[in-house]
Chain A
């Protein structure tokens, strides 16, 4: 009785354990719910700028607007003028360089190459007015552009190749009266269009994010939390949190997932522990360029082909330019699986004037390795291409690309590399040997946006798999499910099956002996049985 009872109890316990183990439903993640609650509440602005008498006037120049802003926000220009958005450079310590200033002033890239000698055009994305050359006065507060970030009317627009001045169609009075906290469209007006078009550079920042679904970006999705950029990229005293490693070098002031989600956001302890080596982005951004394509490759060496003496453009099946006479040939991709690299938060850039050390030239180097305690696996977009360099001085060169009209040696007007490089290098204050060629380059873009809903996060088996996993290219460490000791495995398999064979052989021999013995015994028995009848 007692025995039966204990068996029943045991079976019941086993069943309960089994049910709990197999139970699929997620537990309630209080941390996440609290965050959702926190960010659902939007602060109401304390001032309605349309009611301010100082703004009830006609503005003739954008500088007048800035002066009016500063009449109330009397010291704010100091904050803005201390930012890299204004200075286009930032000083930091770089391993191998010492204290180094890097930014759009002197960093090169493998898209439109660099700003030097092209400021008139590039300054469309400078938060100032009148940067037409390298002689811009960075100390003049009147030239700070408040509106590009703070316009809430979506009317403000910087003019094309107007050195940062607004387009002539903009009604400055309207804009000045509708300023407020920056919205996605403000940040996106530059950050979505880097490289000369929507989503060209980043791949994870583009105009579609201004009104997207949760599937595209779980934070910014209009049917989700609908968060603004500045919700994470907070800007205490106009010092905006977060930066991108195409122009940044040190591991400070970063906008991280952990600042809200903490380093233990999951209910599963095993997944939390991955955070010591794997970034949040690596699993939660399974693909980027989810809506519009992004540029994966840019070959400047193909530029300059003309039809009837005139530049032309060609499009791929999705309507993206895949050839432009002024720029060369491109490869675009949509829904791209990121590449993965180790990254510790420090980086270096190829600065104008640097000697080429390796081919392909790394436009930026993201430092990190498995053995570095501070490194994590991050997803990146790798943009490859080729661009012009000086064969004698062995360094990349800065051509003058933009020009208002033919004849002032700009490549986009004259299609003459020699003249364009000579002009660009002169403006940059560097020597040019006169001999150029094209060299392969590569640039790394950490992917941080377009976070997918958790259901779409990268599953365990996409990395923990023998063949063709997402991390197949990251070697030099042991990844369970992917790596194994092949010799041990083979010896083990042989040993196991040889043992099995030996055991089966032994068993067969026993059965054989038994059958023979039975036969023998049966014969004896039949002999004995037969005997009396004889």
Chain B
């Protein structure tokens, strides 16, 4: 067991800002959608717009950070031990088994996380932001000037934007719950707050070796 500095300062800032922005966007967005009334439609759209520009700004920084630090490699998908990971969440976790994969500074994500987060980054976020930007720019310029965006129906844009929002909400529920499956229910969240996490390097190594030995036998 050793305390490892696993989440860097920017990473934590990015994670929590993005989380709060997405939740705020959800609250205001579903109000614009007509699901309920909290701020009133006018304020809701105004806040939604402001928050969306903040999120877009944050995403640009995050993309830059991922590219320059090479952290994007964390999300290269793998099928290795993917089944084990799924099996762990379905049954192993109840039997008190350990995580089948090892968390290290160089490989923070288990194969399931890699796959889900990659989908989040290259499908869910682009889908929601692109449709959101199209929604925002819809009918930008009136008939007296050039019309940039006119001929696609708003219902289509709204459909994909709502789709993104719904999937994000489902992601949020599962993601928040999954944070409780660490060593203790709060160890993962603590790590994302402080940056440090106690990783069971030794035990895992031994265990992994045992498995490998067992397999070779």
Tell me the smallest distance from the CB of B67 to a CB of chain A, in Å.
23
> Which residue of B32, B144, B147, B166 contacts A481 across the interface (Cβ within 8 Å)?
B32
B93 proximal to A (CB < 8 A)? yes
A513 proximal to B (CB < 8 A)? yes
Given A496-B166, A507-B177, CB of A481 within 8 Å of CB of B154 = no
Q: Are the C-beta atoms of A464 and B142 separated by less than 8 Å?
A: no
Given A373-B150, A496-B173, A499-B173, CB of A461 within 8 Å of CB of B166 = no
Tell me the smallest distance from the CB of A485 to a CB of chain B, in Å.
5
> Which residue of A273, A465, A513 contacts B139 across the interface (Cβ within 8 Å)?
A273
B163 proximal to A (CB < 8 A)? yes
9-residue interface stretch from B34-42, B77-85, B98-106, B112-120: B34-42
A167 to B155, CA, bound (A): 61
* Count of A-B residue pairs with CB < 8 Å: 95
Chain B residues, CB < 8 A from A392: none
Tell me the smallest distance from the CB of A260 to a CB of chain B, in Å.
15
A30 proximal to B (CB < 8 A)? no
Tell me the smallest distance from the CB of B45 to a CB of chain A, in Å.
7
Chain B residues, CB < 8 A from A478: 153-155, 158
Tell me the smallest distance from the CB of A49 to a CB of chain B, in Å.
42
Residues of B30-69 at the interface with A, using a CB-CB cut-off of 8 Å, are 32-34, 37, 40-42, 45-47, 49-50
A488 to B165, CA, bound (A): 11
A496 to B26, CA, bound (A): 13
B180 proximal to A (CB < 8 A)? yes
A492 proximal to B (CB < 8 A)? yes
Residues of B165-215 at the interface with A, using a CB-CB cut-off of 8 Å, are 166, 169-170, 173-174, 177, 180
Q: Are the C-beta atoms of B142 and A273 separated by less than 8 Å?
A: yes
Q: Are the C-beta atoms of A270 and B34 separated by less than 8 Å?
A: no
Chain B residues, CB < 8 A from A507: 177, 180
B216 proximal to A (CB < 8 A)? no
B72 proximal to A (CB < 8 A)? no
B140 proximal to A (CB < 8 A)? yes
Q: Are the C-beta atoms of B173 and A459 separated by less than 8 Å?
A: no
Given A273-B139, A460-B41, A465-B34, CB of A513 within 8 Å of CB of B94 = yes
A43 to B23, CA, bound (A): 59
Q: Are the C-beta atoms of A461 and B155 separated by less than 8 Å?
A: no
Q: Is the interface of B mostly helix, strand, loop or mixed?
A: helix
Chain A residues, CB < 8 A from B74: none
A522 proximal to B (CB < 8 A)? no
Residue of A nearest to B90 (CB): A506
Interface residues of B, count at CB 8 A = 39
> Which residue of A263, A460, A517 contacts B42 across the interface (Cβ within 8 Å)?
A460
Chain B residues, CB < 8 A from A461: 37, 40-42
Residue of A nearest to B166 (CB): A492
Given A276-B143, A374-B143, A506-B177, CB of A485 within 8 Å of CB of B42 = no
A478 to B160, CA, bound (A): 14
A510 proximal to B (CB < 8 A)? yes
Chain A residues, CB < 8 A from B142: 263, 273, 275-276
A154 proximal to B (CB < 8 A)? no
Max chain A C-beta neighbours (<10 A), residue from B40, B142, B144: B142
Residues of A473-498 at the interface with B, using a CB-CB cut-off of 8 Å, are 477-478, 480-485, 488-489, 492, 495-496
Given A263-B144, A275-B142, CB of A481 within 8 Å of CB of B163 = no
Given A263-B144, A477-B154, A503-B174, CB of A488 within 8 Å of CB of B159 = yes
A500 to B93, CA, bound (A): 19
B129 proximal to A (CB < 8 A)? no
Q: Are the C-beta atoms of A484 and B166 separated by less than 8 Å?
A: no
Tell me the smallest distance from the CB of B43 to a CB of chain A, in Å.
9
B162 proximal to A (CB < 8 A)? yes
> Which residue of A373, A466, A499 contacts B34 across the interface (Cβ within 8 Å)?
A466
Chain A residues, CB < 8 A from B170: 495-496, 499
B70 proximal to A (CB < 8 A)? no
Tell me the smallest distance from the CB of B155 to a CB of chain A, in Å.
4
Q: Are the C-beta atoms of A464 and B41 separated by less than 8 Å?
A: yes
Tell me the smallest distance from the CB of B122 to a CB of chain A, in Å.
21
Residue of A nearest to B177 (CB): A503
A495 to B46, CA, bound (A): 29
Residue of B nearest to A10 (CB): B13
Chain A residues, CB < 8 A from B177: 503, 506-507
Chain B residues, CB < 8 A from A483: 155, 158
Q: Are the C-beta atoms of A510 and B162 separated by less than 8 Å?
A: no
Chain A residues, CB < 8 A from B93: 510
A290 proximal to B (CB < 8 A)? no
Q: Can you sample 26 A-B contacts with CB below 8 Å?
A: A21-B47, A263-B142, A270-B46, A276-B142, A276-B143, A277-B139, A373-B150, A459-B42, A460-B40, A460-B41, A461-B40, A464-B32, A477-B154, A478-B154, A478-B155, A478-B158, A480-B32, A480-B34, A484-B34, A485-B159, A492-B166, A496-B173, A499-B170, A503-B177, A506-B89, A506-B177
Q: A residues engaging B (CB < 8 A)?
A: 21, 263, 270, 273, 275-277, 373-374, 459-461, 464-466, 477-478, 480-485, 488-489, 492, 495-496, 499-500, 503, 506-507, 509-510, 513, 517
Task: Give me 8 other A-B pairs in contact (C-beta within 8 A), A461-B42, A480-B158, A496-B173 excluded.
Answer: A276-B141, A276-B143, A459-B42, A464-B34, A477-B154, A481-B32, A482-B34, A495-B166
Q: B residues engaging A (CB < 8 A)?
A: 32-34, 37, 40-42, 45-47, 49-50, 89, 93-96, 139-144, 147, 150, 153-155, 158-159, 162-163, 166, 169-170, 173-174, 177, 180
